[in-house]
Amino acid sequence: MAIDRVAVLGGGLMGSGIAESVAGAGLSVVVRDVDATAVEAARGRIEGSLGRARERGKIDDAAHAEILGRIAFTDRLEDLADADLVVEAVPENAELKAAILGEVAGIVSEDALIASNTSSIPIAQLASWTQSPQRVLGLHFFSPVPVMMLVEVNSVPTATATPQAMNALMLNPPVNQ
C-alpha cells in the first residue's frame, strides 16, 4: 500500500508537529481542526516552527516553501476523503477519539489506514468502536514531533498490512529540526 496523502485530525501542538513532519518527509498533508480559528492557530504553529528551523539553518528558503506548499488546512471532515492515512491527534478523551475515528472511517476509502496518536487509550479499544478495526493503528509520536523523530507503532493483531504500510511511510524521514 502506498501512502501519498495524509490527513491529521487536530492542529494543536501534536497535530501541527505531525503535519509538519509528514510534509517534511515529502508527502501531501491536510490538517483538519474544528473551526476557522483553530485552523489558523494550527497554520501559525507550523509556520512558526518552520521559520525557526530556517533561522537555525536546518532548512533553506526553498525547503521552507516546499514544506508549507505540501500542507493544506481545513475545518471540513469531507476534505479528508482522499487521504491514504488519517492520524487523529485530538484531546486524550476516549469518547471523542472513538467518535471522530468512526466518523472518518465513513468518509475515507475502505483502504485508508486510520491512526490514533493516543498515549493512554488501548488501540484495540478504539479499533473496536469502528466498522473496520483491522485498519486502525496507533501512531504515538513524541513531542516535539519535528525534532524527536520517534514514533511508536501499535496495531490490532489482525491488521497485517498496517505495520508494512507504516514502515513504507517512515522510509522518508522528516528533516530533523
Catalytic residues: 140
Task: Report helix, strand or coil for 154.
Answer: strand
DSSP label of 70: T
Pairing of strands 28-32, 5-9: parallel
Task: Report helix, strand or coil for 140.
Answer: strand
d(CA 41, CA 120): 26
d(CA 155, CA 8): 18
For residues 49 and 89, the answer to whether their CB atoms sit within 8 Å is: no
d(CA 92, CA 95): 9
